[in-house]
Amino acid sequence: MNKQTVKDIDVTGRRVLVRVDFNVPLDINTGAILNDTRIRASAPTINYLVERKARVILCSHLGQPKQGFEKGLTLAPLAKRLAEIIHRPVGFVEDCVGSKVKAAVAALKEGDIVLLENLRFHPEEEKNDPSFSKALAGLADIYVNDAFSTSHRAHASMVGVTAYLPAVAGLLMERELATMGKALNQPIRPLAMVMGGAKVSDKIGLLENALGKVDILLIGGGIASTFLKARGTEVGSSLVETDKLEVARGIMERAKKNSVRLVLPTDVVTAEKIAAGGKTRVVSVNDVPSGWQIADVGPKTLDNFARELHKAKTVIWNGPMGVYEIAQFAGGTKAIARLLGSLDAITIVGGGSTADIVEELGLVNRMTHVSMGGGASLAFLEGKTLVGVTPLLEK
């Protein structure tokens, strides 16, 4: 990774503003934190700074407040949870800029930690407002960005603030950029990509970028229907994007030209209706009953995919193989998750739903890296520059 990190600078005694991503799912009725993975993921950077006696000022957004303070979106409970996770006291201030915050920061001793209130209670945050950025920056001597999952957003705490402070990456940011960057740009080959999900239109950037990099491209999920149709296979009432048939054909041609092994499903689980408890049938892709829909990949397809994946030394996976939200159609996605978990290869998982599935199956530790980036990891895998990463100091 070509960006400086907290390890490249002296933080002792300094006031360090750390942008974390504490945008965790909350129970709308009770406000309880439903999943604290993101809080846990911030611990390495925070511990690193505290152990070197920095004064740590944490900031984050949470949810989409409409205007100003919203009780249900306060970060106060997150300060408490963080304290439990890192076994250190964590202070909390009821704003992120202004005199109260300045006083709280002035009172910090070496190794102290304070969490500021939800950045988005100020609409200037999402507008990347210069004076708001300057006010945030004024709290600290150094800025650390550890919020990879927000790094595709040009907000004040991600971008604006870097105009006023030396800006470096946190350890989570470093891990995300380094593991995904290496897998994509300097992979141990063969490099395979498994692609799924609902729509080709969401995945064009990813597919295009993959074609210049991967050796093997396995396509399942809803997007496979558009590819099958583009090749002339009838797919009944499956989700087909008729305006993307040309794009799909172009991708298949480029794959051939680049000697990328592109593999489509050969059999599928079809359903009369995509709903729990309905009639289903496993058929060859050439025999999708008219009026029926492809809802998952079939067993032969999974065997083919497994054979290809066993050849790979690096695998990147984005997008479920079927409508995994319904148990009857979750088999293909679960099988791919378990297979990746068992491979003796570098395995990278990116994308919101895909990462959730791996987590639900308890397979996070069986993968080399499960990106918490959601949209940011997709943007990264598409080869886009991330606006929050660009301004960080070069090594």
CB of 319 to ligand ADP, least distance (A): 4
**Tokens for 50?**
């505290």
CB of 102 to Mg ion, least distance (A): 40
CB of 94 to ligand ADP, least distance (A): 34
> Residue of minimal CB distance from Mg ion?
352
Cβ proximity to ligand ADP, 65 vs 331, nearer residue: 331
The site partner of 318 among ligand ADP, Mg ion, none (C-beta below 5 to 8 Å per kind) is: ligand ADP
The site partner of 319 among Mg ion, ligand ADP, none (C-beta below 5 to 8 Å per kind) is: ligand ADP
**Rule CB under 5 A: which residues touch Mg ion?**
352-353
CB of 351 to Mg ion, least distance (A): 6
CB of 349 to ligand ADP, least distance (A): 9
- Token pair 């210069």 is at which residue? 130
The site partner of 322 among ligand ADP, Mg ion, none (C-beta below 5 to 8 Å per kind) is: ligand ADP
Cβ proximity to ligand ADP, 129 vs 202, nearer residue: 202
Residues with active-site annotation:
38, 199, 352, 375
Residues ≥6 apart with Cβ < 8 Å to 281: 269, 270, 271, 289, 292
The site partner of 91 among ligand ADP, Mg ion, none (C-beta below 5 to 8 Å per kind) is: none
Residues ≥6 apart with Cβ < 8 Å to 183: 191, 314, 316, 346, 348, 368, 369
**Rule CB under 6 A: which residues touch ligand ADP?**
196-198, 202, 221-222, 239, 294-295, 318-320, 322-325, 351-354
Cβ proximity to Mg ion, 56 vs 372, nearer residue: 372
Cβ proximity to Mg ion, 47 vs 209, nearer residue: 209
Lay out the sheet containing 91-92: strands in order across: 91-92, 113-115, 55-59, 15-19, 142-145, 167-169
How far is the CA of 223 from the CAs of 199, 201, 219, 375, in angstroms? Answer: 5, 9, 7, 18
Cβ proximity to Mg ion, 255 vs 379, nearer residue: 379
DSSP 276-343: TT--EEEEEGGGPPTT-EEEEE-HHHHHHHHHHHHH-SEEEEES-SS-TTSGGG-HHHHHHHHHHHH-
Using the Cα atoms of residue 389, residue 207, residue 343 and residue 198 in order, give the sign of their dihedral.
positive
